[in-house]
């Protein structure tokens, strides 16, 4: 037995058919002058006694191992290698703890020089990239440190058939994927391919090649030997045959093992455990059409009594309680998102494991195992020692996150804000300040493109210190809601508010004649406004002077560039909207007799006593269209004159709602000062 500190090259032999390969490998290593021992793992159940005898002459250590069958062989069909159903056996390498380090080589490899320096690599696992998928390693050459903990982890994966290719290479790559395996140069495991080779690279790196690996179904000894050594593949195959020719062709040994040198398949010899024809890989067509698992239809091995993998020298070792197995999704044989399953495909459940447990009927006493597997060493989370760099921060989502020196985001509360109101702070303003004095939401006329005047109240707020105009400015910029002009929302609000919320005609008590022009202009401009349904709009001083409300700032009409306010001209011949009530207008006209106008013409004339009002017929509201001039009534010449006077002046009349005749007359006197021309 090897000493615990010993190193060894190892290979694996599970069938007689690979014996030529194992023999050439051993000879090539010795020819290269290696100082290391040679070991072979072999499966006694599947090898002939003859083969085992030959191995003894080739290797320093013969290590019998149980073969491990993949319980889910379906993925092997993805690479058309059902013959590799026992490839998991290779993981037995990790339990060879009698060795310090192992450099494993497949039996289909040939060494062109000794690889002894690989034993000095300071890592637990190293391998070279696979030519088919260079991110993965090829498991034909591996440098490993045997370790029982790792073995049990791998064994757990093997027992569940967890391998993307159904064989050891898929399993091992899954296991080492996140463990940073040490990547060796391709020159340690150079895999020529008959179909494709990058010839210039081969020429360039050729002097560095340490070992050649004949992957795939066709091996040098199982293929027809060609006389040509032209091309990369043939050149390297010739290297294998050179070793074979040197040590194994002719003579007693070669005749007994491999047959005649001219044989295309040297392993076809008499007296072997199995017929060579059974050992050859079936053709892809045969595999496809067989429709049954390889182990039963095409298996290269006869099925022995499936001894338990846990039996090691008669002692049952417990399975590790911590399963290091990593999840990997089952491999699809076709893309279900693109096509229906192929007609010849096997049922999905072919991959399921079936396990039957039986009571142990053994009468022997429990024998404690000699040793327990080492606990796994990588089961903790390592807290990063350094803070994540900015590049590790989450990607920005919002545009402002990319502003270089943007202020740090904070939370803002209403109490902390400046007196300038913001739309968000609106509820807070109501809380702090006095509520509007009217009970219902107010609907009033607002300019077509106006900003919603949610600031009607802030000026009355206890904390309000800004001027009304600055508030207006602030809101002109901020308080437009995207939904303010959505017709559907307007209709909805209109429906739920109903007509009771609509304010009546604005009432204006007007006493200061100096402001008359201004007030009238403001009223006139309202004809261009549309109805606003914004319930936070409050009446202005002009509209509701009786309320203790500070006049709300009204954003003026803006010019096209929206840079400055403009005063819209009054519409010609159209009375301001508040005076569209023809009944009221007519009533007023009735009360203002022609005589009184005559009296007004002479300022010195004393106010005559009131006369009985003349009876005029008053048109019903239906008859008097909205567009119609309010005083368009037929009848006497007096009325006609007064109508003329009123319309010509184009100035609306303000009245108090409950007036008496005298008061109205005086009020009218102040407002109407018809010119001589008008009266004429």
Ligand X SMILES: O=c1ccn([C@@H]2O[C@H](COP(=O)(O)OP(=O)(O)O[C@H]3O[C@H](CO)[C@@H](O)[C@H](O)[C@H]3O)[C@@H](O)[C@H]2O)c(=O)[nH]1
- In the complex, minimum distance from the CB of residue 271 to ligand X, in angstroms, rounded to a whole number: 19
Residue among 273, 286, 71 nearest 158 (CA): 71
Asked if 7 is part of the footprint of Mn ion (rule: CB under 5 A), the reply reads no
Q: Which one of ligand X, Mn ion, none interacts with residue 165, CB within 5 to 8 A by kind?
A: ligand X
- In the complex, minimum distance from the CB of residue 130 to Mn ion, in angstroms, rounded to a whole number: 11
Closer to Mn ion by Cβ: residue 18 or 580:
18
- In the complex, minimum distance from the CB of residue 24 to Mn ion, in angstroms, rounded to a whole number: 13
Residue choice 70, 138, 646, 668 for contact with ligand X (CB under 6 A): 138
Q: Which one of ligand X, Mn ion, none interacts with residue 16, CB within 5 to 8 A by kind?
A: none
Burial class from Cβ neighbours inside 10 Å (0-12, 13-18, 19+) for residue 479 reads buried
Closer to ligand X by Cβ: residue 138 or 577:
138
Pairwise CA distance, residues 604 & 516, whole Å:
25
Stretch that binds ligand X, among 12-20, 149-157, 245-253, 570-578 (CB under 6 A): 12-20
Pairwise CA distance, residues 168 & 181, whole Å:
16
Stretch that binds ligand X, among 14-22, 392-400, 587-595, 658-666 (CB under 6 A): 14-22
- In the complex, minimum distance from the CB of residue 391 to Mn ion, in angstroms, rounded to a whole number: 42
Residues numbered 590 to 629 that lie near Mn ion (CB under 5 A) are none
Asked if 11 is part of the footprint of ligand X (rule: CB under 6 A), the reply reads yes
Residues numbered 243 to 302 that lie near ligand X (CB under 6 A) are 300
Residue choice 16, 83, 108, 537 for contact with Mn ion (CB under 5 A): 108
Asked if 12 is part of the footprint of ligand X (rule: CB under 6 A), the reply reads yes
- In the complex, minimum distance from the CB of residue 285 to ligand X, in angstroms, rounded to a whole number: 19
Asked if 7 is part of the footprint of ligand X (rule: CB under 6 A), the reply reads no
- In the complex, minimum distance from the CB of residue 112 to Mn ion, in angstroms, rounded to a whole number: 16
Pairwise CA distance, residues 284 & 294, whole Å:
12
Asked if 168 is part of the footprint of Mn ion (rule: CB under 5 A), the reply reads no
Kindly give the pairing relationship between strand 99-105 and strand 137-144.
antiparallel
Residue choice 74, 84, 111, 523 for contact with ligand X (CB under 6 A): 84
Asked if 14 is part of the footprint of ligand X (rule: CB under 6 A), the reply reads yes
Q: Which one of ligand X, Mn ion, none interacts with residue 84, CB within 5 to 8 A by kind?
A: ligand X
| Residue 590 CB partners (closer than 8 Å, separation 6+) | 613, 614, 616, 618
Q: Which one of Mn ion, ligand X, none interacts with residue 309, CB within 5 to 8 A by kind?
A: none
User: Using the 8-state DSSP alphabet, how is residue 190 labeled?
Assistant: B
Note the Cα 229 to chain centre separation in Å: 54
Three-state secondary structure readout of 21-40: HHHHHHHHHHHCCCCCEEEE
Note the Cα 457 to chain centre separation in Å: 46
Asked if 140 is part of the footprint of Mn ion (rule: CB under 5 A), the reply reads yes
User: Using the 8-state DSSP alphabet, how is residue 214 labeled?
Assistant: -
Asked if 165 is part of the footprint of ligand X (rule: CB under 6 A), the reply reads yes
Dihedral (CA of 661, 664, 669, 675) sign: negative
Closer to ligand X by Cβ: residue 85 or 451:
85
Q: Which one of ligand X, Mn ion, none interacts with residue 184, CB within 5 to 8 A by kind?
A: none
How many CA atoms, within 13 angstroms, populate the side-chain half-sphere of residue 197?
21
Closer to ligand X by Cβ: residue 92 or 232:
92
Closer to Mn ion by Cβ: residue 140 or 276:
140
- What are the b/e assignments for 202-213, b being 16+ CB within 10 Å? beeeeeebbbbb
Closer to ligand X by Cβ: residue 18 or 94:
18
Residue choice 10, 118, 158, 167 for contact with ligand X (CB under 6 A): 167
Residues binding ligand X: what is the number (CB under 6 A)? Answer: 23
Closer to ligand X by Cβ: residue 129 or 441:
129
The continuous run of DSSP H or E covering 431 comes out as: helix 426-432
The torsion angle over the Cα atoms of residues 50, 52, 57 and 59, rounded to 10 degrees, is 160
The continuous run of DSSP H or E covering 64 comes out as: strand 61-64
What are the contacts of 305-314 at 24+ separation with CB within 8 A? 306/69, 307/66, 309/66, 309/68, 309/155, 309/159, 311/66, 312/95
- In the complex, minimum distance from the CB of residue 41 to ligand X, in angstroms, rounded to a whole number: 9
Closer to ligand X by Cβ: residue 164 or 205:
164
| The Cα angle at residue 628 between residues 624 and 634, in degrees rounded to 5 | 65
Asked if 506 is part of the footprint of ligand X (rule: CB under 6 A), the reply reads no
- In the complex, minimum distance from the CB of residue 80 to ligand X, in angstroms, rounded to a whole number: 11
- In the complex, minimum distance from the CB of residue 165 to ligand X, in angstroms, rounded to a whole number: 6
- In the complex, minimum distance from the CB of residue 252 to Mn ion, in angstroms, rounded to a whole number: 29
Residue among 50, 51, 31 nearest 40 (CA): 51
Closer to Mn ion by Cβ: residue 90 or 544:
90
The continuous run of DSSP H or E covering 9 comes out as: strand 6-13
- In the complex, minimum distance from the CB of residue 234 to ligand X, in angstroms, rounded to a whole number: 18
Residue choice 58, 63, 65, 107 for contact with ligand X (CB under 6 A): 107
Residues numbered 172 to 231 that lie near ligand X (CB under 6 A) are 215-216
The torsion angle over the Cα atoms of residues 538, 544, 547 and 551, rounded to 10 degrees, is 60
Residue choice 29, 52, 58, 87 for contact with ligand X (CB under 6 A): 87
β-partners of residue 61 are: 39
Residue choice 7, 83, 106, 150 for contact with Mn ion (CB under 5 A): 106
β-partners of residue 557 are: 566
With H, G, I as helix, E, B as strand and everything else as coil, classify residue 568: coil
Asked if 236 is part of the footprint of ligand X (rule: CB under 6 A), the reply reads no
Q: Which one of ligand X, Mn ion, none interacts with residue 18, CB within 5 to 8 A by kind?
A: ligand X
What are the contacts of 289-298 at 24+ separation with CB within 8 A? 289/344, 291/344, 291/346, 293/73, 293/82, 293/350, 294/73, 294/76, 294/82, 294/83, 294/85, 295/69, 295/73, 295/82, 295/85, 298/82, 298/83
Asked if 21 is part of the footprint of Mn ion (rule: CB under 5 A), the reply reads no
Burial class from Cβ neighbours inside 10 Å (0-12, 13-18, 19+) for residue 323 reads middle
Residue choice 34, 96, 169, 479 for contact with ligand X (CB under 6 A): 169
Indicate the angle between helix axes 232-247 and 251-258, nearest 10 degrees.
Answer: 120
Site string (15-34) toward ligand X, x via CB under 6 A: x-xx----------------
Q: Which one of Mn ion, ligand X, none interacts with residue 114, CB within 5 to 8 A by kind?
A: none
Pairwise CA distance, residues 220 & 229, whole Å:
13
Asked if 139 is part of the footprint of ligand X (rule: CB under 6 A), the reply reads yes
Asked if 140 is part of the footprint of ligand X (rule: CB under 6 A), the reply reads yes
| The Cα angle at residue 30 between residues 24 and 33, in degrees rounded to 5 | 145
Per CB under 6 A, residues contacting ligand X are 11-15, 17-18, 83-84, 87, 106-108, 138-140, 165, 167-169, 215-216, 300
Per CB under 5 A, residues contacting Mn ion are 106, 108, 140
């Amino acid at each position: 037995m090897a000493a615990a500190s010993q190193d060894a090259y190892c290979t694996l032999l599970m069938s007689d058919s690979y014996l030529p390969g194992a023999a050439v490998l051993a000879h090539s290593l010795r020819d290269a002058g290696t100082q290391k021992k040679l070991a072979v793992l072999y499966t006694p159940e599947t090898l002939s006694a003859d083969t085992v005898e030959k191995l003894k002459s080739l290797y320093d250590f013969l290590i019998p191992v149980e073969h491990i069958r993949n319980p889910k062989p379906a993925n092997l069909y993805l690479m058309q290698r059902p013959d590799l159903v026992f490839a998991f056996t290779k993981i037995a390498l990790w339990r060879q703890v009698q060795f310090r380090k192992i450099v494993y080589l497949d039996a289909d490899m040939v060494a062109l020089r000794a690889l002894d320096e690989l034993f000095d690599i300071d890592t637990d696992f190293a391998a070279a990239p696979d030519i088919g998928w260079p991110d993965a390693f090829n498991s034909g050459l591996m440098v490993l440190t045997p370790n029982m903990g790792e073995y049990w982890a791998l064994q757990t994966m093997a027992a569940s058939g967890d391998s993307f290719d159904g064989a050891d290479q898929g399993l091992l790559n899954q296991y080492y994927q996140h463990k940073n395996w040490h990547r060796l140069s391709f020159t340690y495991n150079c895999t020529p391919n008959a179909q494709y080779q990058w010839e210039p690279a081969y020429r360039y790196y050729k002097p560095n090649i340490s070992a050649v690996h004949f992957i795939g179904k066709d091996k040098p000894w199982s293929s027809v030997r060609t006389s040509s050594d032209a091309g990369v593949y043939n050149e390297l195959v010739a290297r294998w045959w050179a070793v074979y020719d040197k040590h194994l062709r002719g003579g007693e040994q070669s005749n007994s093992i491999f047959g005649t040198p001219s044989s295309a398949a040297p392993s076809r010899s008499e007296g072997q455990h199995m017929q060579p024809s059974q050992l050859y890989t079936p053709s892809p067509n045969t595999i496809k059409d067989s429709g049954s698992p390889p182990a039963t239809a095409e298996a290269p091995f006869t099925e022995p009594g499936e001894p338990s993998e846990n039996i090691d020298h008669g002692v049952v070792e417990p399975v590790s309680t911590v399963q290091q197995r990593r999840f990997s999704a089952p491999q699809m044989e076709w893309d279900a998102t693109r096509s229906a399953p192929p007609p010849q495909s096997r049922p999905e459940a072919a991959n399921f494991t079936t396990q039957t447990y039986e009571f142990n009927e053994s009468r022997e006493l429990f024998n404690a195992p000699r040793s327990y597997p080492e606990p796994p060493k990588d089961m903790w989370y390592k807290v990063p020692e350094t803070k994540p760099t900015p590049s590790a921060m989450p990607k920005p989502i919002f545009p402002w996150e990319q502003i270089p020196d943007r202020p740090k985001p904070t939370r803002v509360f209403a109490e902390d804000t400046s007196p300038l109101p913001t739309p968000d702070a609106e509820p807070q303003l109501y809380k702090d300040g006095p509520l509007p004095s009217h009970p219902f939401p107010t609907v009033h006329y607002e300019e077509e493109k106006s900003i919603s005047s949610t600031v009607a109240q802030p000026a009355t707020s206890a904390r309000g210190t800004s001027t009304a105009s600055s508030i207006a400015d602030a809101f002109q910029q901020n308080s437009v809601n995207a939904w303010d002009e959505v017709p559907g929302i307007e209709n909805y609000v209109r429906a739920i508010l109903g007509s009771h919320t609509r304010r009546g005609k604005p009432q204006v008590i007007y006493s200061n004649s100096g402001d008359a022009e201004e007030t009238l202009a403001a009223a006139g401009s309202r004809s261009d406004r549309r109805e606003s349904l914004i319930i936070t709009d409050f009446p202005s001083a002009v509209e509701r002077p009786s309320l203790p409300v500070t006049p709300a700032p009204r954003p003026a009409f803006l010019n096209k560039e929206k840079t400055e306010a403009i005063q819209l001209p009054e519409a010609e011949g159209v009375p301001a909207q508040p005076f569209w009530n023809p009944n009221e207008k007519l009533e007023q006209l009735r009360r203002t007799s022609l005589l009184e106008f005559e009296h007004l013409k002479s300022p010195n004339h004393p106010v005559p006593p009131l006369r009985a009002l003349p009876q005029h017929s008053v048109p019903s509201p239906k008859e008097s269209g909205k567009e119609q001039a309010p005083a368009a009534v037929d009848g006497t010449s007096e009325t006609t004159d007064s109508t003329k006077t009123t319309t010509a002046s184009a100035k609306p009349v303000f009245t108090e709602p409950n007036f008496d005749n005298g008061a109205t007359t005086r009020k009218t006197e102040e407002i109407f000062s018809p010119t001589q021309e008008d009266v004429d």
